[in-house]
Structure 1
Amino acid sequence: MLALLYAIISERILFLSLEYLTYELSFSLFRLCYCRCSPLIDNRSLISMDDLPDEVVWDILGRIKKTVDKNSVSLTCKRVHKLDNEQRKSIRVGCGLDPANEALATLCNRFRNLEKVEISYSGWMSRLGKQLDDQGLCILSSSCPYLKDLNLSYCTFITDAGLSRLASCSHLSALKLNFTPRISGCGILSLVVGCKNLRLLHLIRCLNVSSMEWLEYLGKLETIEDLCIKNCRVIGEGDLIKLGPSWLKLKRLQFEVDANYRYMKVYDRLAVDQWQKQWIPCDNMLELNLVNSIISPGRGLACVLGKCKNLEKIHLDMCVGVRDCDIIRMARKSSNLRSISLRVPSDFSLPLLMNNPIRLTDESLKAVAETCSHLESVRLSFSDGEFPSFSSFTLHGILSLIQRCPIKELALDHVYSFNDVGMEALCSAEYLRILELTRCQEITDEGLQLVAQFPKLCILKLSKCLGVTDDGLRPLVGSHKLELLAVDDCPQISERGVHGAAKLVTFKQDLSWMY
């Protein structure tokens, strides 16, 4: 009987969204469904919510995703309110907490089974009241025994003392800190010592994290699977050697150096020797995301690229010193690669960082094309600047990827070598669904008109392309080929020219970038 009830409720929810029904009417529907499928209840009568099994109410609440909707439903009767309190696993709070500590204590006492808590003070001003402080973290540690996932953003009043109180949260497995300037390496060390099940750690703009004992201790635990370090000024590529045995467990690494401090990074000679002597297995690495990193022969992260045999996604953004041999070695090892994104520094920026600037060439792209038969997403970009590179990736290298791999998404930015001949080649790209062209100035109307012949293309995005006009989009008007057409800041394309060229069209024109 209960299985039949679930089937009826699921069917009703598919056709009558809670978003468009009053909750009183929705629950009347649920009660009616229950009556009809229960042979023990007179179908002419209507039972109350108190008669529904807990499993049914939980199923109803589980289908409501918006917090405001859940709050509204919980007010319909005391029983639903009680069951919602027991079921609620996550909350997201911020500037509305006032007074902060007292309000958080009330929420924790109401929702006793919280597993995920996000506290964000983005946009906070002093007139909004005092922020959550160390006492607030003490409340979390004592009132949320099942806490697994904690996200703190712009919590500027929290110090190491407060973070150390979280060490008693034995179930904590994920911690994200975004701009918590009073936190230092000591606070993070005290936390990782206490939380031995930590699998995810994200540190973003934590400016005072200097000591690296926490990184070494984390490496010895061998539990970390997802590590993100972005714009933490003192943490450099060389420090990652301290992860030691945890490199074997790591599935996702995101490392970004603050661009304003990149030139100040120097390698410790001892750290270089450690990288060269220690064999670092990265068998479980699935995603590698590096921004503004220095990757030099035999140093730091260059040792990692060729040891990720299960890598599925790689993103290298303004990484200085990457060589063809690094990408070739990575491609030969990572045959399961599905996404590659390369943003290459311009020719004129490289000498500032290295005496012998090294560029990636078509050899890298050919190696990827030959060995990565599952590649679906390709993003190639050259850094913004007055002198973009003309001699790195050529049309021949790009076409080798298109011809050999099942590319579904192709994004090119500042790639001057891609022209109408390249657009013609895309007519045979049978898997291509998404095409993004940014500052590809060699493409003309003749090449753009070929889009109508692309077999499966459904999304086209054009940005800052000077050589295309309304004429290039004319074959698409009324064709119903594209699901989405987005045109941004293309000076020769008008709003009238994009009308009717796709089911959904977005148009923006701000030409300040030209001046």
Structure 2
Amino acid sequence: MGASCSRRRDTQAGGDLLRKAGSKKYGKSASWKWLLYPSPRSSSAELNGGDGISPSLMELCARRIRQDIKLYRSFSMLPRDISQLIFNELVESHSLMESSLEAFRDCAIQDILLGECIGVKDSWMETISSQGESLLSLDISGSDVTDDGLNLLGDCVRLQMLSFDDCEQISDCGIRLLSRLSNLTCLSLKRNDGITKEGMKTFADLINLENLDLEKCPRIHGGLIYIKGLTKLVSLNIKCCNRISDEDMKALSGLTNLSKLDLSYNKVTDAGIAYLEGLSKLNTLNLAGCHVTAASLGSISVLTELSCLNLYRCAISDEGCENLASLVLLEDLILDSCKITNEGMVGLKGLLLLKTLDLSDTDVGSAGLHYISGLCHLETLNLGFTLVSDSGMNKLSGIVSLKSLNLDARQITDVGISSLTSLTGLTHLDLFQARVTDFGMSHIRCFKELQSLEVCGGLITDAGVKHIKSLLSLTHLNMSQNSALTDKALQYISGLTGLVSLNLSGTRVTNAGLRHLKPLKLLRSLHLDASGVSVTEMKKLQLAALPNLISIRPG
């Protein structure tokens, strides 16, 4: 089908919790996540505070100092809160350099968050460590700091939060410093190959630790035994740690205050899950990609405080799904790529608090939707790549709480869409592969709150686009692979001035039609792959009318 119509399905449930890898079958042409982040501050944004609110006098002073930072040798005589404000301004504006950092020596700053700064290395750590007992939080993620630099923090004994994700030069030798930082409550060292079981011995001294993130630390197998006494732990992330197995799970059985546990993409099996039965406060459990079967649902069923459960790509079948019925507090449930059918859906009938349900890549069909038709709090439902057809849509029509609906399946047609017009609260609708025609588009116009829409089945013409020109809340629109669309479609789209992302790849749009896009001043991403548009004309449009456009893909 070509790159522009491929799919990548990334879902997220329960805040930042239930992330999973996308299906290998499909991959979206581009992620929209980066579009949700604000653009770098412009000079006009600085003047009004970036959000339409006038900045305080102190904020204005901090910005002026940032502009003239070379004139200042030391801020140590200023009150700590003012020094902190100036420091934050330099960091947020990406203006902090080693030379300007020196001015903050001995300033008793409490928070030094350099996770996005370029050039951070051991020589920076001398000034950082000069904050002494005042320093409470430090983030040097992605830096070139080594074990030697980390060891300079020995006097910062009141540190509560420390993050050094992606610090490739920190190993067990540097980790030994942590034994002096017993006040730590939050520690994150994601994606570190240098930390092993030996280095983890130090963790036993961190008796106040509440949050520990060891994601993608592949050499810590056997080291979890050293955290078994950290009874204050509330959150533990050991996602993608490669060799973590059932034997490692024994060490977790006594962490009775654990609320959030991420075990995804490890070698944990049903036997390992049995060690978790005593974790009665567990609220969030991520088992995506683990070697667990429906037999593990018996152990999981006793975790009655669970509100988020991710079983993506686990060998969960219908047998055992009845155990899900005891998890009455569940709000987010991911069953994507599990081996369940309509029969396994019975266990979901009583989960009345469910807000997010992902059934994509399962063998659930229209009949199975009967069991979720009464879930009146359901807001997000993913039925992509299932066996659900038009006949199942009337079972969804009463779930008026739905805001996000994925119907990425060839069996869905205009008939099914016509059954959903009661779902007027929808903000996200994915009909990527659905066989929707212009007639079906006339029903989509009923969803006045839509913010994102994907209709890429190839059957839409310009007349169909006319039906959605009144959906003024749209920020993301993907109508790629509808090869009949012409410049006329751009004329209808021109009124959707809230658009941030537009994909019309694989259409008959030409250079001449680009003029219709000039009113879309908020547009940041424009994809017109395999169309009649040239890169030269797109760049002209970008320079002349679309100042926020930062991602373009011409034909």
Q: TM-score, normalised by structure 2?
A: 0.65
Structure 2 residue identity aligned to 1:190 = Y
* Aligned match of 2:159: 113
Deviation digits for residues 144-165 of structure 1 (CA, Å, limit 9, x no counterpart)? 2222222333322221111122
Q: Secondary structure at the match of 1:435?
A: strand
Q: Is residue 136 from structure 1 mapped to residue 174 from structure 2 by the alignment?
A: yes
Q: Secondary structure at the match of 1:150?
A: strand
2:315 pairs with one of 294, 299, 308:
294
Query: 1:164–1:443: structure 2 CA closer, same or farther, 3 Å change rule?
Result: farther
Q: Is residue 178 from structure 1 mapped to residue 182 from structure 2 by the alignment?
A: no
Q: Which has the higher strand share?
A: 1
1:188 pairs with one of 182, 205, 224:
224
Q: Is residue 242 from structure 1 mapped to residue 275 from structure 2 by the alignment?
A: yes
Question: Does the CA contact (< 8 Å) of 1:436 and 1:462 recur in 2?
Answer: yes
Deviates more, 1:359-368 or 1:67-76: 67-76
Question: Does the CA contact (< 8 Å) of 1:485 and 1:501 recur in 2?
Answer: no
Deviation digits for residues 44-96 of structure 1 (CA, Å, limit 9, x no counterpart)? xxxx9677544555566567763955777754355536566324512123451
Which ranges in structure 2 are unaligned for 5 or more consecutive residues? 1-52, 112-130, 387-407, 532-555
Question: Does the CA contact (< 8 Å) of 1:241 and 1:275 recur in 2?
Answer: no
Question: Does the CA contact (< 8 Å) of 1:149 and 1:174 recur in 2?
Answer: yes
Q: Is residue 252 from structure 1 mapped to residue 284 from structure 2 by the alignment?
A: yes
Question: Does the CA contact (< 8 Å) of 1:430 and 1:454 recur in 2?
Answer: yes
* Distance across 2 between alignment mates of 1:266 and 1:340: 20
Q: TM-score, normalised by structure 1?
A: 0.70
How far did 1:311 drift?
3.2
Map residues 56-455 of structure 1 onto 2, 5 A cutoff. Answer: 57-58=83-84, 66=92, 75-76=102-103, 78=105, 80=107, 85=131, 86-94=134-142, 96-97=144-145, 100-107=146-153, 109=155, 112-121=158-167, 131-139=169-177, 141-184=178-221, 186-191=222-227, 193-210=228-245, 212-232=246-266, 234-236=267-269, 239-246=272-279, 248-257=280-289, 272=295, 275-276=297-298, 280-299=301-320, 302-303=321-322, 305-321=324-340, 323-327=341-345, 329-330=347-348, 332-337=350-355, 339-344=356-361, 359-365=363-369, 367-368=371-372, 370-373=374-377, 375=379, 377-382=380-385, 390-391=410-411, 403-404=422-423, 406-414=425-433, 416-437=434-455, 439-454=456-471
Query: 1:342–1:142: structure 2 CA closer, same or farther, 3 Å change rule?
Result: same
How far did 1:255 drift?
2.3
Question: Does the CA contact (< 8 Å) of 1:380 and 1:413 recur in 2?
Answer: no
Deviation digits for residues 416-474 of structure 1 (CA, Å, limit 9, x no counterpart)? 2444444322222233222234x433444332322212263333234455454443332
* Distance across 1 between alignment mates of 2:437 and 2:353: 29
* Distance across 2 between alignment mates of 1:79 and 1:448: 62
Percent of aligned pairs sharing the same letter: 20
* Distance across 2 between alignment mates of 1:108 and 1:50: 21
* Aligned match of 2:502: 486
* Distance across 2 between alignment mates of 1:96 and 1:434: 40
Question: Does the CA contact (< 8 Å) of 1:373 and 1:404 recur in 2?
Answer: no
Question: Does the CA contact (< 8 Å) of 2:283 and 2:307 recur in 1?
Answer: yes
Question: Does the CA contact (< 8 Å) of 1:368 and 1:401 recur in 2?
Answer: no
* Distance across 1 between alignment mates of 2:271 and 2:414: 36
Query: 1:240–1:417: structure 2 CA closer, same or farther, 3 Å change rule?
Result: farther
Which ranges in structure 1 are unaligned for 5 or more consecutive residues? 1-7, 29-47, 125-130, 259-264, 346-358
Q: Is residue 11 from structure 1 mapped to residue 93 from structure 2 by the alignment?
A: no
* Distance across 1 between alignment mates of 2:329 and 2:269: 25
Deviation digits for residues 472-504 of structure 1 (CA, Å, limit 9, x no counterpart)? 332122x25333232164343456645336331
Structure 1 residue identity aligned to 2:426 = I
1:506 pairs with one of 511, 520, 525:
525
Q: Secondary structure at the match of 2:458?
A: coil
Q: Secondary structure at the match of 1:334?
A: coil
Query: 1:237–1:501: structure 2 CA closer, same or farther, 3 Å change rule?
Result: farther
Structure 1 residue identity aligned to 2:468 = V
Deviation digits for residues 255-278 of structure 1 (CA, Å, limit 9, x no counterpart)? 2227xxxxxx585xxx83x755x6
How far did 1:411 drift?
2.6
Query: 1:25–1:104: structure 2 CA closer, same or farther, 3 Å change rule?
Result: same
Q: Secondary structure at the match of 2:469?
A: helix
Structure 1 residue identity aligned to 2:172 = D
Structure 2 residue identity aligned to 1:252 = T
Q: Secondary structure at the match of 1:424?
A: helix
* Aligned match of 1:40: none
Question: Does the CA contact (< 8 Å) of 1:380 and 1:412 recur in 2?
Answer: no
Question: Does the CA contact (< 8 Å) of 2:450 and 2:474 recur in 1?
Answer: yes
Query: 1:510–1:229: structure 2 CA closer, same or farther, 3 Å change rule?
Result: farther
Q: How many residues align?
A: 431
* Aligned match of 2:473: 456
* Aligned match of 1:5: none
Structure 1 residue identity aligned to 2:166 = S
Deviates more, 1:453-462 or 1:62-71: 62-71
* Distance across 1 between alignment mates of 2:426 and 2:184: 41
Structure 1 residue identity aligned to 2:66 = Y
Question: Does the CA contact (< 8 Å) of 2:417 and 2:443 recur in 1?
Answer: no
